[in-house]
Chains A and B, each alone.
Chain A
Amino acid sequence: MGDGGRVAAGLRAYGLIAWMWTRSTMAYRASFAMTALASFAVTALDFVAILLMFSRVDALGGWPLAEIGVLYGLSGVAFGLADLAVGSMERLGQRVRDGTLDTLLVRPAPVLAQLGADRFAPRRIGRVAQGALVLGWSLAAVDVAWTPAKVLLVPVALAGGAVIFGAVFVAGASFQFLAQDAAEVQNAFTYGGTTLLQYPPAVFAAELVRGVTFVLPLAFVNWVPASYLLGRPYPLDLPPWAAFASPLVAAVCCALAGLAWRAGLRSYRSTGS
């Protein structure tokens, strides 16, 4: 089987498992509605904090509310999509501890696909919806001279951003092969990352912005594209095409996360009980 065949098999397995979990969730419709609403509300809390801040100020780091809303929306939707697709992978450490990962290893489907779709949670759509709501409102509210390139940039940034966050989830899960109890470290990059991206880059120290641009390139989820979209200078010197580089950065992230995943899976030793 070639590489293409393996990817297709993985996607098929992912789709089947995710569909099974969706059907199982939909057996309890009221519970689904409530948990989706809760997911929406928990995420909305972050935006409520921003609204409360703006009840006292007119701008943050020089950015008005609508422009912060663009940052928030892009980051929220991208993170929400990644969380929906592979967010369950943060439970890998648990599976390593209790030995249930072995069950996945003997099944005739790629482990990554099985684990990504494991306990697929449709309620996480609440997070995506909340981000999309803020994004829609803020895109309508900002004062931007729309060009075809700028219109195209929105879906490009969302797709690239979702894949970048997805790669962070996979890399984080790979790390859990090594540090089983230390699963929480991942939260600093996933939930911490999306919190960081809700605020303008100008707010943060230059070293932090450099790290988030060149080392862990979360900046390509929204900071870099949104700076171009809104005509604001990015604190670092980047070429103008960088705004459209999110898919490229996402591809590199995926390759690195894939290597980390293989290394992690190879180093796996079963608890053996």
Chain B
Amino acid sequence: MAAERLYLAVAAGGFRRYATYRAATAAGVFTNTVFGLILVYTYLALWDERPHLGGYDQAQAVTYVWVGQALLSTLAIGGGGVEGELMERIRSGDIAVDLYRPADLQMWWLAADLGRALFQLLGRGVAPFVFGAVFFPVALPGEPGRWAAFLAAVLLGMVVGYGIRFLVALSAFWLLDGAGVAQMAWIAGLFCSGLLLPLNVFPGALGEVVRLLPWSSLLQGPADVLLGEADAAGVLVFQAGWAVVLLAAGRLAQRAATRRVVVQGG
């Protein structure tokens, strides 16, 4: 019980910390809206050329763009989550303080990242999404059940995203400078999550392979649940499976790191 209250407090702290920077949030909303606008027109041209490409109609493709802009910073697909700070703490040796705390390292940062993600979703994600829904023809479901499933998929996406980024951050225990790994993970995330282009537009076998990777839990999965293009239960089970695998791998890496690696500094 005490542990739950602690992680709740950490999550609330993560939320409030990002909520402090109002000008930065407004700037983010503006930038995401501009990028959404550019992408919408290119997608409209693409679907004009090939109607029903990847099984989407034009309204679904437009909706996909705005879901992507809403989830980009929420799920830290292009970086910007807690992993940067965690990596810096490992490099500087401050991680020793974190390991000293009577709380689990992985859960502590998961709570902080969920708080951050929740704020990014509300503060930064909703506004561009509403803008897109007002000014462009979108395909949004009427039944509340589909929205609930979508929100559940986004929540699981947050956990999967953190699972990947926690592993990336822990690489700093061995590499010291994790910038290269972070950059590679960032490129993989943009490409394999469907942010660059919906995965169902990818040709042939490439499309099938990227759909099995964990990154498809971030954008493609939730978007398909919202658009009614995928069986919601199937997507949620797929995401939960990856969440468990990634968190377990993170736990193993954490154990190995704390046992074998000498902390920097002092």
- Are B31 and A188 touching (Cβ within 8 A)? yes
- Are B23 and A180 touching (Cβ within 8 A)? yes
- Are B23 and A181 touching (Cβ within 8 A)? yes
Q: Which of B23, B26, B53 has most chain A Cβ within 10 Å?
A: B23
- Are A184 and B24 touching (Cβ within 8 A)? yes
- Are B49 and A188 touching (Cβ within 8 A)? no
- Interface assignment of B131: CB less than 8 Å from any CB of chain A: no
Stretch touching chain A among B40-48, B87-95, B248-256: B40-48
Q: In the bound complex, how far is the Cα of B53 from the Cα of A60, in angstroms?
A: 14
- Are B23 and A199 touching (Cβ within 8 A)? no
| Set of chain A residues within 8 Å of B196, measured between Cβ atoms | 45, 48-49, 52
B75 CB to closest chain A CB (Å) equals 17
**Which residue of the partner chain B has the closest CB to A38?**
B183
- Are A55 and B197 touching (Cβ within 8 A)? no
- Are B45 and A56 touching (Cβ within 8 A)? no
Q: Secondary structure at chain B's binding surface: helix, strand, loop or mixed?
A: helix
| Residue tally, chain A, CB below 8 Å to B | 34
| Set of chain A residues within 8 Å of B22, measured between Cβ atoms | 181
**Which residue of the partner chain A has the closest CB to B26?**
A182
- Contact string against B for A residues 53-77, beta-carbon threshold 8 Å, 1 for contact and 0 otherwise: 1011111110000000000000000
Stretch touching chain B among A12-20, A200-208, A229-237: A200-208
Q: Within the complex, which residue of A35, A182, A192, A205 is in contact with B41, where a contact is CB–CB below 8 Å? A: A205
| Set of chain B residues within 8 Å of A179, measured between Cβ atoms | 23, 27
Q: Within the complex, which residue of A57, A183, A195, A208 is in contact with B27, where a contact is CB–CB below 8 Å? A: A183
- Are A42 and B23 touching (Cβ within 8 A)? no
A57 in contact with B46 given A42-B187, A208-B41 (CB within 8 Å): yes
9 contacts between A and B (CB under 8 A): A34-B180, A35-B179, A42-B183, A42-B187, A52-B196, A53-B201, A179-B23, A184-B27, A199-B38
